[in-house]
């Protein structure tokens, strides 16, 4: 049903799952002797976070932050709003931010500055997708799944107007779906 709105599948479900396992193995090694606070950035990171944490064989604590800067648009408003804050203090903690995509970089830039201000011991970023052509601020992730081209992508957590998050793959929507 949802497939009829998709122009092109960029990353298949199998490719995502293979990459998640790879990233999980790297994180398992890097966090073996630590107890990081893994912070999922809602809502987009939910499927990635859910799959990734099951591939990390190390002690990790989970928390969530809900921030939003896109609303129903395909371009960042540039203003990051905290919709839900953490339940846990980041002070003195090794923080691992889990994101679905870095585009302009503004969301993560905001969160990194916030967690620095809140005195996190270390801050690392794992993102499933990186769209370097969208970058507006200087920001790099520590762990990246896939580079994506300059297109608005949906699926596996990523939405257009709150739809398509439940697709198991990453794709590009047909042009007629967008209401500009």
Ligand X SMILES: O=P(O)(O)OC[C@H]1O[C@H](OP(=O)(O)OP(=O)(O)O)[C@H](O)[C@@H]1O
Ligand Y SMILES: Nc1nc2[nH]cnc2c(=O)[nH]1
Applying CB under 6 A, the residues found at the interface with ligand Y are: 70, 101, 103, 152-154, 158-160
CB 41 within 8 A of CB 97: yes
Residues from 82 through 101 that contact ligand X (CB under 6 A): 99-101
Q: How many residues bind ligand X (CB under 6 A)?
A: 18
Residue 9 or 42: the one with the smaller Cβ distance to ligand X is 42
Question: Whole-angstrom Cα distance, residue 165 to residue 146?
Answer: 18
Residues from 136 through 175 that contact ligand X (CB under 6 A): 159
- Reply yes or no on whether 103 is catalytic: yes
Among the listed residues 51, 94, 100, 103, the single catalytic one is 103
Instruction: Tell how strand 122-130 and strand 94-102 pair up.
Output: parallel
Q: Which stretch binds ligand X (CB under 6 A): 2-10, 35-43, 141-149, 167-175?
A: 35-43
Q: Can you point out the beta strands (E) in the chain? A: 6-11, 37-42, 61-68, 81-84, 94-102, 122-130, 143-147, 153-154, 170-173
Interaction of residue 38 with ligand X, rule CB under 6 A: no
The token duo for 91 is 């002070």
Judged by the rule CB under 6 A, the positions of this chain that interact with ligand X are: 41-44, 68-70, 76, 99-107, 159
Catalytic residues: 103
């Amino acid at each position: 049903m949802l497939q009829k709105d998709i122009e092109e599948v960029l990353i298949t479900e199998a490719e995502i799952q293979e990459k998640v396992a790879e990233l999980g193995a790297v994180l398992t090694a890097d966090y073996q002797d630590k107890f990081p606070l893994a912070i999922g950035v809602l809502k987009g990171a939910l499927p990635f976070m859910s799959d990734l944490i099951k591939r990390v064989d190390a002690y990790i604590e989970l928390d969530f932050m809900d921030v939003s800067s896109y609303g129903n648009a395909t371009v960042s408003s540039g203003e990051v709003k905290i919709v839900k804050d953490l339940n846990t203090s980041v002070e003195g903690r090794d923080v691992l931010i889990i994101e679905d995509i870095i585009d302009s970089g503004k969301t993560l830039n905001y969160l990194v500055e916030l967690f620095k201000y809140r005195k996190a011991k270390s801050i690392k970023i794992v993102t499933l997708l990186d769209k370097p052509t969208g970058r507006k601020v200087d920001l790099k992730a520590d762990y990246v799944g896939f580079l994506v081209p300059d297109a608005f992508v949906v699926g596996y957590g990523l939405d257009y107007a709150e739809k398509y998050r439940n697709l198991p793959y990453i794709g590009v929507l047909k042009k007629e779906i967008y209401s500009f």
